Copies of this chain bind each other. A is one copy, B any other.
Amino acid sequence: MATEPTTARGRATRARILQAASELIFRNGVGAVRLDDVEAAAGVGRSQLYHYFTDRDDLVRAVVHATIDTVLAMQKPRYATLDSLLRIDEWFESIIANGIRPEGVGGCAIGLLAAQLSEHDHVTRQAFLDAFTRWEAPLIEGLSRMQQRGELAVGADVVELADLTMAAIQGGLLLAHVRRSPHQIRLALQGARAALLASTASSARPDDMSGASAGDLSP
């Protein structure tokens, strides 16, 4: 049975295992990572793994949760204030910057995991749902505030704008990952920006279709 570490050393060991497993999984994919690899990378023995995690699946689940927390924590500082186009642009910049890592370009850790594991089990799937919801919550709130201040067209659906932005982020990071080009993220975010801009109160004109309210694509 998995034991929660009580001492500082134990916590450090558990953290090292998690760290090593996360990196390996991010690099090579969930299926390609052997427990031996994790051991070697973390500098621990087999017994440690089974001391802190019940089995391989438990470790993977822990990696998922840790990854989600890490990624969301990285966004945190920018989060409080996404209530202006300038702040949102800054946020976008941080996402672009985070997409360029020493171990490779692009690829949202959450998105990559989600693509691999969202069908795995119900609990894990729910974790991803929560992650995306938590991720976009500050944007929804910021957009709402902009709308209240009259900086966003009253007809705009802020939730839909946020969803659309999340899709752009994920798609941009995926393409950047495959193409190994951070430029893809930038372009994708430009798309989201255009959609947001189209809902900006100042540029919302009734005579064009720039408003990104739902229905444009309805059959």
A46 at the interface (CB under 8 A from B): no
A52 at the interface (CB under 8 A from B): no
A38 at the interface (CB under 8 A from B): no
The stretch from A69-77, A147-155, A172-180 touching chain B is A172-180
A188 touches which one: B107, B167, B187 (CB < 8 A)?
B167
Residues of A in contact (CB 8 Å), total 65
Evaluate contact between B193 and A165: CB separation under 8 angstroms: no
A67 at the interface (CB under 8 A from B): no
* Bound complex: CA A114 to CA B89 (Å): 28
* Bound complex: CA A35 to CA B114 (Å): 24
Evaluate contact between B177 and A166: CB separation under 8 angstroms: no
Given A168-B188, A198-B198, output 19 extra A-B contacts at Cβ < 8 Å. A27-B119, A29-B31, A93-B219, A115-B177, A118-B177, A125-B178, A128-B178, A132-B179, A163-B175, A163-B188, A164-B187, A167-B171, A167-B175, A167-B187, A167-B191, A190-B217, A198-B210, A203-B210, A210-B210
A-B contact pairs, 20 of them (CB 8 A): A30-B31, A93-B217, A111-B115, A115-B115, A115-B116, A116-B116, A163-B175, A167-B175, A167-B187, A167-B188, A168-B168, A168-B171, A186-B218, A191-B194, A194-B195, A194-B210, A194-B212, A197-B198, A203-B208, A210-B210
